[in-house]
Amino acid sequence: MALNPLVESRDVQFVLFEVLNIDTITKYPKYADFDRDTFIDTLELAEKIALDQFYQVNGEGDKEGAKYNPETKEVKVPECYKEAYKAYADAGFIALNIPQEAGGMGLPEIINISCNEFLAAGNIALSIYPGLTHGAANLIVNYGTEEQKKLYLDKMLSGQWGGTMGLTEPDAGSDVGDLKTKAVPQDDGTYLLSGQKIFMSCAENDLNENMIHPVLGRIEGDPSGTKGISIFLVPKYIVNPDGSLGEKNDIVCTGIEHKMGIHGSATCSMSMGDNGKCIGYLLGEQKTGMKIMFQMMNEARIGVGLQGLALSSSAYMHAITYAKNRVQGSDVAQMLNPDAPKVTIIKHPDVKRMLLWMKSYVEAMRMLTYYLAYNIDLEHVLDEEGAKEAKAVVEILTPVLKAGNSDMSWQITAEAIQVYGGYGFISEYPVEQLARDSKIGSLYEGTNGIQSIDLMMRKILMNPDQYNFKVWKKKFAETINKAKGVVDDKYITPVQKGMERLDEVISILAGQLAEGKFLHLFMNATPLQKIIFDITIAWMHIWSLTLTIPKVKELVGDAKGEERTKILTENSEAAFYSGKTLASQFWIGSEFPKVFGKIEALLTGETAVIKASDEIFTGALEE
């Protein structure tokens, strides 16, 4: 694979084929039609479209942004997006991992995820449009009637029609159960919907000739709260029985948000039923809306974790390029020599530290993201016990991935700006946009605070027998055992101690749950999530070291100094494995010790948060 400024292709292949050994999945009937060559060809096509299409219009699309016309109620996406979107859709990427029997290609989720890393790294705002269409189509695959599948799927999977998700309302954000969207049943089996939805990404655009909106609402007479919610398919244009477009439905865009980043992605407010004619079609069974929508929400949360990785990768790769070419200052080893030649800034220890810090996170985040995706595939092919464990891995790692990667992408893009110095702060250079685009990741698809509560309560403390947590620890222990004798104990021992301390934390939190100390629990949800993310990143690095250390011994041996430099210069594989080994050692040696401080902080039992009443926050005006 060619080098690119977005994603290190060699590392993608390392994770797929050396860490996860995804070739082996083709021995199962579900994926028997594929082989390693198919996987690599698909990855290379995604990389090509990312570089030649998505990335080329990223900056232009950011400057142009999505535009709303208040007279026509229509949204125009950046004109430059259209050719890139067509290339993506024509290549079949929307249907990549959709089952073949539903009209898709049936490739594994791990290939879908790794391809989309390239594409999101190239242009996250553009990637959101087909990403949401894929999620909406997948709902129809799993819950739609045969008629709904026949009417919608082919054109959605081809990219001709789009899809989105309608959850949030002005007075019902994270608390979805408070929604007010009402559905009134009609004699013909349809429903008339009325209500407003906000923050609907890509809900109105001129990329797609029709939109199919999965919308949460409450059928008249059904109970309040989440148990009374149903889900409906609300098309922009009614689809005739023969698949042609009929009249415009009574759903309109009332405006789009002016955002800090992802300017090319239209974040829409939508109004349904202003004229009493918004027709919706029940998806699945009545009052199962939240269960159904959680499929798309969980896919989206994994997608946000992927976006965090992609933006971090792009920022890191750009920072390397800049640091290798920007000449400033002399080598610190010659700081007393007034005639010392100027060097590129990558020679400076502090810049090298920043790059190694970024590299160590990006590579572990990639392993974490792909590992989770691969377990989605394993759920479908392993025996009952294996599938159960794979599902547990997916469940516990989804909030860790979403919150951890999105939080880190904000920090990593900021560090990339720091590498650029003052140039990083201006829009002529790409990292400024990457930082702006990254921030939304910690906010949408459930804020990271919500992810932390979900992790602590549903995935660990309230999970029967803490099964998810036990499986996570089992997989971790398997990695540690394989590392012994390969990885130096000075890297294994602290990570093991970190897990032991985490057990202590979980035991204390379980006791607080038994005592009903919910304030104590909820104030520590985010600190706990950050600790678990750190330990998971350490796990990924230990796993990586078990593979990279033997390769370094094979390719570099005991060479030092100029001999080692010569080997790394002439042998890209030697440089690759040496770099990964150093990144993992750096992270465990320099970053992981900080987790013990986080654990100590959580265990102090400090209750200032609980004591902090509203009145102590003085100086602000009340509305």
Q: Note the residue count of the chain.
A: 623
| CA-wise closest residue to 110 among 2, 30, 5 | 30
| pLDDT recorded at residue 620 | 76
What is the Cα–Cα distance from 524 to 126, expressed in whole angstroms? 36
Would you state the structure tokens that stand for residue 81, as one six-digit string?
């997006």
18 is catalytic: no
| pLDDT recorded at residue 619 | 85
Which residue has 């609907």 as its token pair? 200
List average pLDDT for each run of 10 residues in the chain, which is 623 residues long. Answer: 80 98 96 96 97 97 98 97 97 96 96 98 98 96 97 98 94 76 96 96 97 96 93 98 96 97 97 97 96 92 97 98 94 89 95 98 98 98 97 98 98 98 95 98 94 97 96 97 97 97 97 96 97 98 98 96 96 97 98 97 94 89 71
> What is the value of pTM for the model shown?
0.96
Amino acid at residue number 157: L
- Reported in sequence order, the residue ranges of 451-570 that DSSP labels E, i.e. its strands, are none
What is the Cα–Cα distance from 51 to 54, expressed in whole angstroms? 6
Exposed/middle/buried for residue 349 (C-beta within 10 Å: 0-12, 13-18, 19+): exposed
What is the Cα–Cα distance from 32 to 26, expressed in whole angstroms? 5
CB 379 within 8 A of CB 391: yes
CB 412 within 8 A of CB 424: no
Pick the catalytic residue from 169, 389, 445, 478. Answer: 445
What is the Cα–Cα distance from 569 to 336, expressed in whole angstroms? 28
| pLDDT recorded at residue 1 | 39
Q: How many CB atoms sit inside 10 A of residue 37's CB?
A: 8
| pLDDT recorded at residue 171 | 78
What is the Cα–Cα distance from 472 to 452, expressed in whole angstroms? 16
What is the Cα–Cα distance from 119 to 116, expressed in whole angstroms? 5
Please give the backbone phi and psi of residue 108, each rounded to the nearest 5 degrees, phi first: -65, 155
What is the Cα–Cα distance from 221 to 200, expressed in whole angstroms? 26
| pLDDT recorded at residue 173 | 64
Per-residue pLDDT of 199-248, as tens digits, reads 999 999 999 999 999 999 999 999 999 899 999 999 999 999 999 999 99
| pLDDT recorded at residue 3 | 63
Per-residue pLDDT of 162-195, as tens digits, reads 999 999 998 766 677 789 999 999 999 999 999 9
